[in-house]
Every structure is written in C-alpha cells, then in structure tokens.
C-alpha cells in the first residue's frame, strides 16, 4: 500500500506490503505494524475519515469491505482542502 505522506512518520516508508483479503484487513495489518495509525484513517464508527481516499488499481474505493487480491496495488492519499 502506498502510504499518504502525513502518515509516513508511523510507517517510516512510502510503501508497505500488507496482508489481507479486504481493505479493512489491510488496515488491521497496518495497525498491527504501526500502532495508532488506523484511528487516524478510520474513525470509531468504522467510517473512512473525510479527507482520506483509497484507490485500488487506480479506481477509487469508499468501502472498507472492498475485497483486494494479492496483486492489487492500493494507494492511500489525503484529499487536501483549505489553507
């Protein structure tokens, strides 16, 4: 997964190889490696935060239940707005 730049202090890397069959599971794996990171991406009601965006193979994804395959490329970016 490509990591959004504000979250790279957690991962220490631009990209992280993650395990999981869904976007949700990928984020669980990411949390296990980098404690605290998931809550900054997903709120306590399991909603993707307003300014976070996910793309799987270039297509936007808004559902944590979205399935992913081992060869899929997942990008996480932040949608900047305002000053």
Based on the number of CB atoms within 10 Å of its own CB, is 11 exposed (0-12), middle (13-18) or buried (19 or more)?
middle
Q: How far apart are alpha carbons 51 and 41 in whole angstroms?
A: 9
If binding is defined by CB under 8 A, does position 14 make contact with another protein? no
Q: Let me know if 50 is exposed, middle or buried by CB neighbors in 10 A (0-12, 13-18, 19+).
A: exposed
Q: Which is nearer to another protein, 71 or 81 (CB)?
A: 81
| Site size toward another protein, by CB under 8 A | 24
Which residue in the set 13, 14, 32, 35 belongs to the binding site for another protein (CB under 8 A)?
Answer: 35
Backbone angles phi and psi of 6, in degrees to 5? -65, -15
Selected from 45, 58, 59, 70, the binder of another protein by CB under 8 A is: 45
Contact residue for another protein among 1, 3, 23, 42 (CB under 8 A):
42
Residues lying near another protein in the complex (CB under 8 A): 6-7, 9-10, 35-37, 39-47, 49, 51-52, 78-82
């Amino acid at each position: 997964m490509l990591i959004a730049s504000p979250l790279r202090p957690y991962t220490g890397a631009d990209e992280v190889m993650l395990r999981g069959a869904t976007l949700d599971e990928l984020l669980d794996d990411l949390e296990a490696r980098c404690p605290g990171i998931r809550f900054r991406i997903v709120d306590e009601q399991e909603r993707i935060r307003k300014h976070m965006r996910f793309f799987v193979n270039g297509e936007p994804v808004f559902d944590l239940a979205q399935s992913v395959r081992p060869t899929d490329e997942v990008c996480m970016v932040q949608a900047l707005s305002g000053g």
